[in-house]
Amino acid sequence: MSDAADPLVKSPANADGPRVIEAEVYPGAIATRLDHAINWFRESSIWYLLFATACCGIELMQTGGPRTDLDRFGAVFRASPRQSDLLLVAGTITYKMADRVRLLWAQMADPKYVVAMGSCANCGGLFQRSYSVVCGVDKIVPVDLYLPGCPPRPEALNEAILRLQEKMHGERWAAKMKGQA
């Protein structure tokens, strides 16, 4: 999401566009666009639902652990969908589970995002020919980001969170709300 031409925010180091709001002319004061402020808050506190259905869930745990430490990016796990912004689908989804996934997604408050972690969540992976496995969680809930791998390494999941932050940074909430008003 390039935002380099935005007059309100300086971006000297960041060719891709500013990721944080920078202090403008007056010390102690910040001038920015409302969108940027909202996005900044949101992307810096991604609370993800600990939805570990299978093997990928172990790597998800390792990612939350001391080495990769997702907390650095404000991403912490929650056990309840009501408190989560991100449904991180880590693992295989079976037909028996499918309705529950949709229910979990429905329980999350907007704005919400979905990351499909691992081949199983992307397309069924190893199990796509199985009689009981859904060929990708995107058949049940809309997916924002696909993360390949079986299982993806913690570094990859970390990267996915950063990419998701980028995506969140490009949202235009204020414009949307104006349109609705």
Partner 1 sequence: MTPAEIAARLRTRFGDGAVVAVQDALLDPTLELAPERLHEAARFLRDEDDLRFDFLRSLAGVDRKEALEVVYHLLSLPHRHGVTLRVRTPRDKPSVASVADVWPTAEWHERETFDLFGIDFAGHPDLRRLFLPDDWVGYPLRKDYAPPAEYHGIVTTREGSLPVTRAQVAGRPQVQVAMHGAKAEELPGYMRVNMGPHHPATHGVINFLLETDGEIIRKASPDVGYLHRGIEKLAESNLYIGTMPYTDRVDYLGAIFANHSWALAVEKLLGLAVPPRGEYCRAIASELNRIASHLIATGALAMDVGAFTPFTHWIREREKINDIMERICGARLTYNYLRFGGVARDIKPDVVDTIRLWLDHFEPILREFNRLISDNEIFVRRLADVAPISAADAVGFGLVGPNLRASGVHWDLRRDAPYSIYPELEFDVIVGKGFRGVVGDCYDRYWCRVLEMVESMKILRQACDKLPEGEFWAKPKVVKPAANEFYAAVESARGELGAYVIADGTDKPYRAKFRTGSYTGLSIIQHLSPGLMLADLVALIGSLDVVAPEVDR
Sketch the per residue contact string, 42 through 71, with partner 1: x for CB under 8 A, - otherwise: --------xxxxxx-xxx-xx-xxxx----
Residue with smaller CB distance to partner 1, 41 or 111: 111
Q: For 111, what's the count of Cα atoms within 13 Å in the CB-facing half-sphere?
A: 17
Q: How far is the CB of 103 from ligand SF4 (least distance, A)?
A: 20
CB 90, CB 121: distance < 8 Å? yes
Nearer to ligand SF4, 101 or 120 (CB): 120
- Side-chain half-sphere exposure of 168, counting CA atoms within 13 A: 26
Name beta bridge partners: 114.
87
Q: Identify what 142 binds: ligand SF4, partner 1, none; CB under 5 to 8 Å per kind.
A: partner 1
Query: Cα separation of 23 and 30, whole Å?
Result: 5
91 near 127, Cβ under 8 Å?
no
Task: Note whether 115 binds partner 1 by CB under 8 A.
Answer: no
Choose which of 54, 61, 98, 174 interacts with ligand SF4 (CB under 6 A).
Answer: 54
- 47 close to 77: Cβ distance less than 8 angstroms: yes
Measured CA distances, 105 to 29, 84, 85, 128, 137 (Å)? 38, 10, 10, 23, 11
Draw the binding track, 72-101, toward partner 1 (x: CB under 8 A; -: no contact).
-------x-----------xx-xxxxxxx-
What x/- string results for residues 123 through 152 when contact with ligand SF4 is judged by CB under 6 A? --xx-----------------------xx-
Enumerate binding residues for partner 1 (CB under 8 A).
Answer: 50-55, 57-59, 61-62, 64-67, 79, 91-92, 94-100, 102-106, 123-124, 126-136, 138-143, 150-151, 153
